[in-house]
Amino acid sequence: MYNDLDPLLHSQLRLAIISMLVSSEKVEFTHIQEETKAAAGNISIQIKNLQEAGYIEVEKTFKNNYPKTMLSITHKGVKAFESYINNLKKYINPPK
């Protein structure tokens, strides 16, 4: 049963990022930083991990000469999140 939890999503910061993306079409990097209070470097590392797994897409642009990073969740990311939540529910209400 414990093997059912996706280790990539079991990190507090990565789970927070994915949770924000599930409820929004796109989320800006700065919003994630404001909400999580995490350091920019740490967020960048976690974003890279999620992107490499195919869970999120990253779009980098510039607005008024400032970098703007937008994140969105992929279909694979949604499925992984749903599976993670369903497996967590098994811990709360184990099958009898």
- The 10s digit of each residue's pLDDT in 15-25 is 999 999 999 98
39 close to 47: Cβ distance less than 8 angstroms: no
- The 10s digit of each residue's pLDDT in 25-48 is 899 999 999 999 999 999 999 999
61 close to 68: Cβ distance less than 8 angstroms: yes
Q: Which domain holds residue 30?
A: 2-91
Tell whether 43 is covered by a domain. yes
Tell whether 96 is covered by a domain. no
How long a stretch of residues is the chain? Answer: 96
pTM: 0.88
Of all residues in the chain, the percent with pLDDT exceeding 70 is 97
- Domain tally, the chain: 1
Tell whether 7 is covered by a domain. yes
Which tokens sit at 18?
Answer: 């994915």
* Cβ neighbours, 10 Å, residue 70: 15
pLDDT of residue 5: 84
pLDDT of residue 45: 97
What CATH number should be reported for the domain holding residue 6? 1.10.10.10
